[in-house]
A and B are shown apart, each in its own frame.
Chain A
Amino acid sequence: MDKVKIERVSKIFTSQDNVPQTVLAEIDLIIKDGEFLCLLGPSGCGKTTLMNLIAGFEKPTTGSVTIDDQLVVRPHPKHITIFQDYGLFPWRTVLDNVLFGLEAKGISKKEARKIAGEYLELVGLTAAAEQFPRQLSGGMKQRVSIARALAVEPDILLMDEPFGALDAFTRYRLQDELLRIWEEKKPTIVFVTHDIDEAVYLGQKVVIMSPNPGKIKMILPIDLPKPADRSGAEFGAYRREIFRAFALVEEEKLEYMI
């Protein structure tokens, strides 16, 4: 079933000196229910903007974004975004951060605590419940924000380079945890990244984007068991294919410059 439909979407930002800049041009994309989709591309390719349009933080200049056939006009608690900088509230403990979304939903205190406890357990942070974000490592902070997002049972998770600020080992571990959680809860995930390995490892589908203006270059279905063998031959083949796609982008740019 189609979950998200993006039809002929363009996004034009106008800078302060009135110069319009086309960040996204004529994007068409369909995301299926329960799909794990990665938006991959270099900076400036509009992948974050595309995610913000799905999240409802921004509106397209032309075209439409619909979720479950409903036009997206504003953010919705069923579509939760996870940011690279975590977005945790420093004045709230880990538990209270996870409770935030549940409070907003109007769930009773007792019930909310129970749910928050379950999700903290899911991300392995039960012991840190009473700590403040500043006391946690980056990886732990991102786990809290994942728990906070999942606690309200969203059907779409939008993740904007969520592991971009973490060291490689922590990143690998969190990737595995995310896959495990996805297998368990089956939300639709839109995962923005500029890391080719990460996209191949996580995504069922990798949407490769190119900049100036932001366009979809190629959609590559990844047919690998999850979790995949990072050093396997098939994994390597997908990587090569993506590299080739990006090399193509470079060639075009060269021609353009001549």
Chain B
Amino acid sequence: MKNQYSLWFGKILTLLIFVGIWQYASQFYSPEQLPGPIQVIKGIQELADTGVLWEHIQVSLLRFSVSYLLAVLVTVPLGLLLGWYTWSWKALDPLLQILRPISPIAWFPLAILWFGIGDAPAIFIIFLSAFFPILLATVSAVRRVDALYLRVADNFGVDKWTLFTKVVIPAAFPQIMIGLQIAVGTAWIHLVAGEMLGAQSGLGYLIVDSRNFLRTDWIMGGMLLVGLLGLGIHLLMGFAEKSINRRWGME
């Protein structure tokens, strides 16, 4: 228990030191260059009072959920198939290795040309950013399913479909979950990028738009909220993963 306390003490202390340095440093700059923590909190308060802030958060969360779920629904089945049919993965591998290093942000001009201004380009970019981590994790999860499980299933004479749905997918599941968790992180990072570039709402838009007014406190407030919400989503995913693993008998 004592260890627990000192762990929390360390965490809180680190945060306090960070805020302290921030506060100290802000004295040497104008509020347009570097507002202090209190000014940023006040800025957030101001945005919250007008109701704008909540709207931005809602839009961002909605956009994020839609694109992420879309990515999961498309990519997991795709990864399962590519992992199962080894030849298809081998055939696609070179193409994917070329596409993978291209930052999702680089797709932005094309996304605008194809989908116009609005939600679609942002959704497209978030989708892309989640696509590769999910795909790679799913493919490797399927390919690394313990051969012993396949042998046992084969011995009991199950058909291919049963083998796939009742052995391969559940055996691969914990690994896939790890990919999904990584993808949540990268998708959230690219949410802001997507919204900065094309959208007219959301936290990313708030950050860009505040620059136009030179409201640095709002910029930093937006950043702070992106960080905090990202942390929240990460914790939620971790919790989901744990409870699924427990159900899966994997703990």
List the interface of chain A (C-beta within 8 A of B).
Answer: 55, 57, 74-77, 79-81, 83, 85, 87, 89-93, 100-101, 103-105, 132-134, 152
Contacts and interface: CB of A to CB of B under 8 A. Distances in A.
A92 B249 CA distance: 7
14 contacts: A74-B154, A75-B151, A77-B155, A80-B155, A87-B148, A87-B152, A89-B149, A89-B152, A91-B248, A93-B249, A100-B152, A104-B153, A104-B156, A134-B249
Contacts of A76: 155, 157
A89 B148 contact: no
A221 to B, nearest CB: 29
A91 B151 contact: no
B250 A104 contact: no
B49 interface: no
Contacts of A100: 152-153, 156, 166
A253 B34 CA distance: 82
A87 B173 CA distance: 17
B251 A134 contact: yes
Contacts of B250: 90-91, 134
A15 B162 CA distance: 33
B interface, by DSSP: helix, strand, loop or mixed? helix
Nearest to A101: B156
B171 A91 contact: yes
A interface, by DSSP: helix, strand, loop or mixed? loop
B151 A89 contact: no
Contacts of B197: none
A91 B249 contact: yes
B167 interface: yes
Contacts of B151: 57, 75, 81, 83, 87
Most buried by A among B156, B158, B249: B156
Contacts of A91: 170-171, 173, 248-250
A221 B249 CA distance: 44
A91 B158 CA distance: 18
Interface string B64-81: 000000000000000000
Given A104-B162, A134-B250, A89 B167 contact: yes
A76 B250 CA distance: 29
Contacts of B251: 134
Nearest to A145: B152
Contact of A55 (B155, B162, B167, B248): B155
Most buried by A among B154, B170, B173, B250: B154
A89 B170 contact: yes
Contact of A77 (B156, B166, B170, B173): B156
A133 B154 contact: no
A80 B251 CA distance: 29
Nearest to A92: B249
Most buried by A among B153, B249, B251: B249
